[in-house]
Copies of this chain bind each other. A is one copy, B any other.
Amino acid sequence: MSPRTVDVDRKKLLIIGNAFNVFRENGYANTKMSDIAEAAGISKGTIYLYFKSKEELLAKALETMLHLIQEKAYGQLEAIQDSEERLREFIHVFMGVFQEVAGVIGLLMEAISSDRLKVGDMEERSYLAGAYRNAINRVEAMLREGARRGVFREIDFHTSAIILVCMIDGLQIPYAISSDLVDIEKAAKVVEEMVFRFVK
């Protein structure tokens, strides 16, 4: 029989998922490799079979998880044809997503401010910037499409998209400080109304 075999990608994903959560909860600097190992139910050394260093693990974890999250979120919007409906759904989906991955903004900020993420052949911060641009582009496209259809008015699509994304991201902050500072339901309602009063 063949010796022990592993599905490398599955294992990497196991590690990445746990690393992502532990990093998110405790911050990068405050997370020990052994914490991640424990969370993943493996040993410290094993992590190093799949990732060169803590930094690489962070980078890969952010890259992978942000990608997965975005894919999942955008997937939900794909089917919706109506411009208004789609924008409305975008707001709700993303506010939900950010509740799920509470703390990710903090992790990102720590990663950025401590110049982590210069890993491997990736350009520094590029995929982060990429994820951001991606989100903005999606929103921008939605707004533009709505305008083309005559549902939305003509505005500075790009900047408006940025603001919309920032509104939602920004909500992470009070939420992180103390989750009772903000009532997500009410917030969603206000964001929605604010956005629609603006775009229409």
Indicate whether A2 reaches chain B with its CB closer than 8 angstroms: no
- Which residues of A (99-135) have their CB < 8 Å from a CB of B? 103, 105-110, 112-115, 125, 128-129, 132-133
Partner-binding segment picked from A10-18, A69-77, A164-172: A164-172
- A191 to B174 CA separation, bound complex (whole angstroms): 19
Residues of B within 8 A of A177 (CB): 108, 112, 125, 128-129, 132
User: Smallest CB-CB separation from A160: which chain B residue?
Assistant: B190
- A129 to B177 CA separation, bound complex (whole angstroms): 6
Query: A114-B27, A132-B181 known; A166 and B173 CB under 8 Å?
Result: yes
Question: Would you call B26 and A114 a contact (CB within 8 A)?
Answer: yes
- A25 to B115 CA separation, bound complex (whole angstroms): 9
Total identical chains: 4
- A195 to B160 CA separation, bound complex (whole angstroms): 12
Question: Would you call B156 and A190 a contact (CB within 8 A)?
Answer: yes
Indicate whether A52 reaches chain B with its CB closer than 8 angstroms: no
Indicate whether A194 reaches chain B with its CB closer than 8 angstroms: yes
Residues of B within 8 A of A26 (CB): 113-115
- A105 to B171 CA separation, bound complex (whole angstroms): 12
- Pairs across A and B, CB under 8 Å, 11 listed: A27-B110, A107-B113, A112-B176, A128-B177, A133-B181, A159-B182, A166-B166, A166-B174, A170-B170, A194-B194, A198-B198
> Which A residues fall within an 8 A CB radius of B?
24-30, 103, 105-110, 112-115, 125, 128-129, 132-133, 155-156, 159-160, 162-163, 165-171, 173-174, 176-178, 181-183, 186-187, 189-191, 193-195, 197-198
Which 7 residue pairs across A and B have the least CB separation, nearest first?
Answer: A170-B170, A29-B29, A166-B170, A106-B109, A27-B114, A106-B113, A27-B113
